[in-house]
Structure 1
């Protein structure tokens, strides 16, 4: 259990901690000289029958509230200190508000200097404090009169703290490891050491971690947990981590950084959150209002974007989007506090709801439903609720990461709830069973309709089909869904086309006989330089229009592709040339190659080689820069058949293949949700807008 002090300056917080632990937490020369706490102080108290207690002593001066917040975010038990001769003072009220905003429910009030005031004063003060505590999470905590000079009440105070520690339920070590850094220093012979409170998960010696938001990688050489050498650090522990790594140094890691499991690394600069505005605020919070955001041990500038129509009035709760000056590491459900930019007062606080919110269309009914689901704390309820609202699918890999959950826990949760999972590279998307059945039925119905309207076409383009379906899955997830349906025998995949499993395109008998004569001439050893339409017309003594008509039909059926005017290549040959281009690209510096290098591999003339590459350029198979080209590896499957296991292991696929130029292509551009950027609800209001400044 971590005990944190709170209270006004010079009310005896540091002296009280020293009386309880025999540790003077004022370690800085300036603190000794001025007689006040300036930075966070730390002490430990062994407890028989329980784990060692950690104490975080915070400054009480109004100028150091930001430092107090850096220490308060990780505490479990509040030691609110009130001097009997002064009573409740400005920083006492502010510290109490912060404790309440951070959701700290356990604590005790210590009335220090109780030996210098009459008993009546103590009774009166206790009544006043009870009134102040009434509306907070600490409303029922004990109030004990103490004196660090005479020792009065110290035994009773220690007994309350120790009793709470024995009953305290240690935070669950499930989930991903996160430690909020509050100190970084160097120890001779050891190197860089960072200290902080473990917010979630567990870590062990020799684990590899990432420092966020910088992204530095490190290995943990050794651990001290609760001031003792340990092999592990768990949620709730005060830990010191000895970090080693190529770029790890005292200067590279500062207060406010987060040391975390590498799978959780995804800093964000835009967060949707709940917000409770303190009742003591003088005016409502307007749109684009500037604040200082305090979360864990970090402090960052931010702007408030209102998600409701009205300004956030004092004493009310609302939802807002926090647009940060720089990225931070966070998790859904984390608490935060906001203060004004002049650092004179605390304004409010709340919980983080969504770490990846859109920058536009924040106030739609769809978005409100998503936030209602995201706000649920229990992962199983949140997942079920998210799958029940638009867009009716969920990236459960991101869901686990943003909630600092271990993947095995989310995977088990998904299996237990019976959702359909679509694996794509490093992510897993999920749909409820009901929506998956509707999606599958709609997909098959649309394919049947397309085949009825276009009996001479092999199938519908992948992107065109995706744009017609709801939910509109990301392309990578949609491909995974198609592959699943192909494995189950419901559909067939032919490169960029999708067809029903039983659909076949056939030619008329005369066309079929003619095709069987032409097809061998397009393949074989001369497949990279097949005859043109005029050559075939001369060979078979037929009109060029008749040959062209047949090859165009073959193109619609997916048998051939027209690389240049009247120059058709078999589909398999085009796929082979794509792989040859990929091999040429891999064999050159930075992947750029010339037309001559490609020509030499296909043993073709320069003109035809350039025509082939121009065709690839048109379909984004290659990317051109002057006379050089480089293969776009995200499009290598464009002309291929279904991806088999061996090919998937050897070729990196991805991106959004789009059959531009195909006869069945219809653009869905502009219909996707746009993330990032600003709109009328995120731009700073004009100076003439009421409530825009305070």
Structure 2
């Protein structure tokens, strides 16, 4: 369990932590000289009869150091608010309580300190004052204990309370969660190197793991040399612990407070996020769209602006005490995940305004208030990951990128929840895994069959559209991986048939005229003899003794029926030859990690560079390959030419 202290300056936070743990958390010479905390301090307390340790984060109480307090308070399990008996409730008492509430800290207690300096009646009055203050916060009803760090009065009761709370702290579910640690301190140790410390927010890490530092323009990576969790040497650390990580491969000056240490598959940074926000009830004015704010998330502090999403016809603002959805636009990238707590302070960093929970860390730039987008935010608001995934699939008519969803959730893409029954899934080498909900899958299926019926009615002399054209007719906004998976499922169930690159209803076939059949038989040996070079329409007309106009018409009909393949205008290949060329493309991809370059394909086929490029572009068009920069990547789910090759 991680305990975060909070309270006004000089109310005894550091002294109480020292009395509980024996550790002085003021480590800097300036802190010793001035007698106040400036930086975050850490101490640990062993719980009796268990191997667990309670970690304490001692935060500064000065009003100018609230940003440092926030860096330490994010991720704590238990809030310990301190109020001095001789002073009573002070300004930073109120602000620190607001911070704890807006961070969602609902477990905690209040220690009324320095009771040795006040009369009993004064102590009782402060206890009543504190209880009233808690009433409108997340710590309403929390225990209020009088203590004295100097005399030891009340310390046994406070320790007992903390031990009970530690026993009741639930272990965090780490199944599928990506490791991430909010960096709040960076330093170097002789013989060890660069060390970062922070609270582990999710997942687990072990010695030897490779991690990323986010956000980072340099794409920094580092390897874990050693670990300390809860101030003990360990080989593995997990969520809910204070952790020090010694890193190999990165310099101290390359890392700063506010960055994150994450598993590679959990990498995500953003400059725009949607959040469920509550404006603190003591605020005097509403929070309006366009308001500049300090954004605190994890251990970082960046500037941003707010756009209220749940606006009414009369007000584009969030009223004091109200809860609503907002988009936060950041001045610079930060790392953030769904469920992270975010706190906003005003532009001058003089008071805490609002706080809440990140819903979607990859918020859109446009159409952020449309009914469709608000339905998606309703889905992101569900309480658990499987429910969020099911709701997002139901809200996403054009499918959902599971890689994007897993990244936003901070989950390993290889450990996704079970898909709702009837969902369609697809895997793409470039864009990862996709899913389409059962209802939207049925609608897309109906759209495909309807488009084919219309096409056959309007063009009875054609076999059908190619798959790319059919997609534009039936499901133009469906991502290509899902389109290919949908088409494959329709073929499997016998709802459609595919011949070459063309799709048609099973009952529809292309009928060739006697002239077409005669010319097809005449040119078959010519196409076979041409091999990988292909045959030009004019040459086939000349060698076959036919007019060019008639030959072009017949070739076009044969190509539209899947009998031939027109790679470029007037250049044709037989299906048998194209199957061999496709097999060579697959062979090249197998040797080169899924990639097919023009040079490699030229060498494999023995053709010139120009013809090799023409063939690769044709394979891109029909869906065997996919162009990525200067290379073509094999679509591993494409079944084109596999049957012919077999």
- TM-score, shorter chain, exceeding 0.5: yes
Residues 1:203 and 1:536: Cα distance change in structure 2 (over 3 Å): closer
Deviates more, 1:71-80 or 1:153-162: 153-162
Q: List per-residue Cα deviations over 1:229-267 (Å, max 9, x = no partner).
A: 1121111111111222x3x12122221111122111121
Q: List per-residue Cα deviations over 1:198-256 (Å, max 9, x = no partner).
A: 11122222222222222422222222111111121111111111222x3x121222211
Equivalent residue for 2:350, pick from 344, 351, 366: 344
Partner of 2:448, secondary structure, is helix
Corresponding residue for 1:24? 24
Q: Distance in 2 between matches of 1:251 and 1:160?
A: 41
Residues 1:142 and 1:288: Cα distance change in structure 2 (over 3 Å): same
Q: Distance in 2 between matches of 1:643 and 1:267?
A: 41
1:106-255 to 2 correspondence within 5 Å?
Answer: 106-174=107-175, 175-214=177-216, 215-244=219-248, 246=249, 248-255=250-257
Task: Tell me how far 1:100 sits from its aligned partner.
Answer: 0.4
Q: Cα RMSD between the aligned structures?
A: 3.4
1:253-332 to 2 correspondence within 5 Å?
Answer: 253-309=255-311, 310-332=316-338
Equivalent residue for 1:353, pick from 359, 368, 385: 359
Task: Tell me how far 1:531 sits from its aligned partner.
Answer: 5.2
**When the two structures are aligned, how many residues end up with a matched partner?**
628
Q: Distance in 2 between matches of 1:542 and 1:442?
A: 42
Partner of 1:506, secondary structure, is coil
1:605-620 to 2 correspondence within 5 Å?
Answer: none
1:287-686 to 2 correspondence within 5 Å?
Answer: 287-309=289-311, 310-391=316-397, 393-407=399-413, 409-411=415-417, 413-414=418-419, 417=421, 419-425=423-429, 427-469=432-474, 472-494=477-499, 496-501=501-506, 503-525=508-530, 528=533, 530=535, 532-533=537-538, 535-560=539-564, 566-570=570-574, 632-633=631-632, 642=640, 644=642
Task: Tell me how far 1:484 sits from its aligned partner.
Answer: 3.3
Task: Tell me how far 1:615 sits from its aligned partner.
Answer: 8.9
Q: Which structure would you say has the larger RCO, counting Cα contacts within 8 Å and 6 or more residues apart? A: 1
Corresponding residue for 1:652? none
What stretches of structure 2 of length at least 5 have no aligned partner? Answer: 622-627
Residues 1:494 and 1:360: Cα distance change in structure 2 (over 3 Å): farther
Q: Distance in 2 between matches of 1:645 and 1:141?
A: 70
Q: Distance in 1 between matches of 2:208 and 2:364?
A: 38
Residues 1:162 and 1:637: Cα distance change in structure 2 (over 3 Å): closer
Corresponding residue for 2:69? 68
Corresponding residue for 1:626? none
Contact preservation (8 Å) 1:521, 1:531? no
Q: List per-residue Cα deviations over 1:428-479 (Å, max 9, x = no partner).
A: 2223334323332332332233233323333323333223445942112211
Q: Distance in 2 between matches of 1:519 and 1:240?
A: 73
Corresponding residue for 1:86? 87
Residues 1:367 and 1:281: Cα distance change in structure 2 (over 3 Å): same
What stretches of structure 1 of length at least 5 have no aligned partner? Answer: 622-628, 648-694
Residues 1:3 and 1:559: Cα distance change in structure 2 (over 3 Å): same
Corresponding residue for 2:624? none
Contact preservation (8 Å) 2:196, 2:246? yes
Residues 1:486 and 1:642: Cα distance change in structure 2 (over 3 Å): farther
Q: Distance in 1 between matches of 2:588 and 2:398?
A: 42
Contact preservation (8 Å) 1:456, 1:557? no
Contact preservation (8 Å) 1:523, 1:530? no
Corresponding residue for 1:671? none
Deviates more, 1:199-208 or 1:97-106: 199-208
Report the TM-score, using the length of structure 2 for normalisation: 0.88
Residues 1:107 and 1:221: Cα distance change in structure 2 (over 3 Å): same
Q: Distance in 1 between matches of 2:530 and 2:380?
A: 60
Task: Tell me how far 1:354 sits from its aligned partner.
Answer: 0.9
Task: Tell me how far 1:643 sits from its aligned partner.
Answer: 6.3
Residues 1:620 and 1:430: Cα distance change in structure 2 (over 3 Å): closer
Task: Tell me how far 1:578 sits from its aligned partner.
Answer: 8.2
Contact preservation (8 Å) 1:579, 1:636? no
Q: Distance in 2 between matches of 1:502 and 1:448?
A: 11
Corresponding residue for 1:40? 40
Contact preservation (8 Å) 2:532, 2:581? no
